[in-house]
Structure 1
Amino acid sequence: MSAADTLPDAVRNMIDTPLYEERTEFPIEIGYVYNTCAAVENGNPLYWDEELARTLVGKRIAPPTMLSVWFRPHYWAPGASGERKALQAHFDLKDLLGLPEAVVASNEASFGEPVAMGDVLTTCQIVRSVGPFKKTRLGTGRFWTVDVRTTNQNGDWVGTESYTFLGYGRPEQ
């Protein structure tokens, strides 16, 4: 590993450490499910028909693909101050590594217990890896992976979204 690839202590200390534990601002509710399903024309009766959902699953559930919806901060909330960002660990890495630009290179989701109406969810962000410098067409930078692990009020794992980013600096023109 070259000296340029050495990670700052603050970055090394983030790896595999749960960060930014956060609870949903409100219990999961059907209005968000209806709006999301309508927006993407998802007519799956499991999400629209309460009786069918109770028969098949035992409860009303949200589409698994909505996992990240529950943690997108509202632009404004009573008592909140400062800029509210999802994936704060990602923005911390950009700052600590001096890489002002970034793109999502890949995103993968794994699902566990279905998210049900009334659930209160908790997430934490876990930096899984930070790679060495790499030259790309966008510029020189590093790839890093951040997992967002989500559990419900019972401590049951409901899913993990894994994001791989490329943080980079634009090449000098």
Structure 2
Amino acid sequence: MPETNADIPQQVLDLIGKHQYEEETEFEIEMGYVYNTLAAVQNANPLYWDKSFAEQVVGAQIAPPTMLSVWFRPHYWSPGFEGERTALQSHFDMKRIMELPEAIIGGNESIFGVPVKMGDKLRTYQVLTSVSEVKKTRVGTGRFWVIEVHCFNQHDEHVGTDIYNCFGYRRPAQ
């Protein structure tokens, strides 16, 4: 008999479409992170390296749009915080609630808004948008879910949205 939404725990159904884990960056956006990322991928774009060029072209020194998720990756330790700190916490919640010990991010889509500028303070929230029926795949049996992470600057301007397609599963018995 096929699984239906009736088989999804009510706790999960109640989360669909709700804003979760609203947070702000722990520090203002700064070039140290940008330079490390650019060096790691050997990105020589003068828009990021040359402040005067960036100010002429876009009006300010900016971060590459692809760094959007970097700003919300928590440090392993930070004063005043206790317990585990993870990025994309709603994904880990889904694994726990659905009792699916393994999970992968099967796809990621980014939608970019206004550029992230040096000195910006960003805020974000996560939204679980959908949960599939039970599916059987090569890696195991589980469910797909989609999480959107919406990000805004201190002026309430949309700087971007990351959309994660996830699959939580149990491995087949060996």
Q: What's the TM-score, normalizing by structure 2?
A: 0.97
| Corresponding residue of 1:40 | 41
Answer whether contact 1:128 1:146 (CA < 8 A) is retained: yes
| Corresponding residue of 1:59 | 60
CA deviations over 1:87-142 (Å, ceiling 9, x no partner): 11001111111111001110000000100000000010000100000000011100
1:128 to 2:129 alignment: yes
- Separation in 2 of the partners of 1:76 and 1:2? 41
- Separation in 1 of the partners of 2:6 and 2:40? 44
- Separation in 2 of the partners of 1:7 and 1:151? 31
Deviation of the 1:7 alpha carbon: 1.0
Closer, same or farther in 2 for the Cα pair 1:6/1:38, shift >3 Å?
A: same
1:86 to 2:87 alignment: yes
- Separation in 1 of the partners of 2:114 and 2:19? 21
- Separation in 1 of the partners of 2:26 and 2:124? 12
- Separation in 1 of the partners of 2:112 and 2:7? 34
| Corresponding residue of 1:74 | 75
Q: What's the TM-score, normalizing by structure 1?
A: 0.97
Closer, same or farther in 2 for the Cα pair 1:168/1:93, shift >3 Å?
A: same
- Separation in 2 of the partners of 1:69 and 1:96? 26
Answer whether contact 2:95 2:168 (CA < 8 A) is retained: yes
- Separation in 2 of the partners of 1:42 and 1:118? 21
Answer whether contact 1:5 1:132 (CA < 8 A) is retained: no
Amino acid at match of 1:155: D
* Structure 2: gaps of 5 or more residues: none
Closer, same or farther in 2 for the Cα pair 1:169/1:58, shift >3 Å?
A: same
Deviation of the 1:22 alpha carbon: 0.8
Q: What SS is found at the alignment partner of 2:14?
A: helix
Q: Which runs of 4+ in 1 moved over 2 A?
A: 1-5
Closer, same or farther in 2 for the Cα pair 1:4/1:63, shift >3 Å?
A: closer
- Separation in 1 of the partners of 2:4 and 2:109? 32
- What's the RMSD between the two structures over aligned residues? 1.2
Residue identity over aligned pairs, in percent, reads 57
Aligned pairs (5 A) from 1:1-173? 2=3, 6-173=7-174
